[in-house]
Amino acid sequence: MLYMQMNWEYVKEHMYFYDAYILKVISLFIYGLLSF
């Protein structure tokens, strides 16, 4: 997480979308595991 401090301007522009994408992938993966 140190890179967030070093590249804060880049993080502010892209991290919200990135976090939303990762959470979506993880939630779909867990849902897939539970459905089997």
Model pLDDT for residues 1-36, shown as the tens digit of each residue: 455 566 777 767 766 667 778 888 989 999 988 887
33: tokens are 């595991």
Task: Report yes or no: 4 and 15 within 8 Å, Cβ to Cβ.
Answer: yes
Separation of alpha carbons 31 and 23, rounded Å: 12
pLDDT at 29: 92
pTM of the model: 0.45
Q: Supply the range of the domain harboring residue 27.
A: 2-35
Provide the domain count of the chain. 1
Q: Where are the beta strands (DSSP E) in 1-36?
A: none
Separation of alpha carbons 27 and 32, rounded Å: 8
